[in-house]
Each structure stands twice: as C-alpha cells, then as structure tokens.
C-alpha cells in the first residue's frame, strides 16, 4: 500500500512540474528524447524513471534535481 501511494505521489509531481513549465507531454518527450506515450506512462505511474531519466526531466522543465527531491519529500 505504501509503495503505491509513493508511486502515485511521484507521478503527480512529475505531471505538476511539467505543467508548471508550460510543456505538453509531447514537448517534454521531445526534450528528453522519448515518446509522448512514454511520458504519459510515467505520469500515470505505469513506467518508472531511473535517476538519469529523472535528471533529464528536471533539466527539461528547468528545476534542479535536488529541488525536485525536496518537493517530493515534502508532498
């Protein structure tokens, strides 16, 4: 149960930072070299990101990785 809650929280935060950066899923996907369906899957909690992918997402949306982690831990 706890793992699924954490997964949903992470997915929601990923979506939040993308939206706050005024990017569509397709635009973010293009910036990180992935497909729109890939972005959709991790925003829906169906796909996990590794640290390298998460860092790429953070760079694409203009947020430092450490700030993303802080936001996640505070949510």
Q: What is the CATH number of the domain that holds 26?
A: 1.10.260.40
pLDDT averaged over every residue in the chain: 94
pLDDT band per the 50, 70, 90 thresholds, residue 4: confident
pLDDT, mean of residues 21-45: 96
Q: Between 45 and 25, whose confidence is greater? A: 25
Closest by alpha carbon to 40, among 55, 26, 19? 26
Burial class (CB in 10 A: 0-12, 13-18, 19+), 57: buried
pLDDT band per the 50, 70, 90 thresholds, residue 34: very high
Number of structural domains in the chain: 1
Structure tokens at 39: 């972005």
pLDDT band per the 50, 70, 90 thresholds, residue 1: low
Domain that holds residue 45: 2-74
Q: Decide if pLDDT at 52 tops 80.
A: yes
Closest by alpha carbon to 45, among 74, 75, 4? 4
């Amino acid at each position: 149960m706890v793992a699924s809650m954490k997964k949903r929280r992470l997915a929601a935060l990923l979506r939040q930072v993308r939206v706050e950066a005024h990017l569509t899923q397709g635009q973010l996907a293009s910036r990180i070299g992935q497909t729109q369906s890939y972005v959709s899957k991790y925003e829906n909690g169906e796909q996990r990101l590794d640290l390298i992918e998460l860092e790429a997402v953070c760079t694409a949306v203009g947020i430092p990785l450490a700030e993303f982690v802080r936001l996640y831990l505070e949510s």
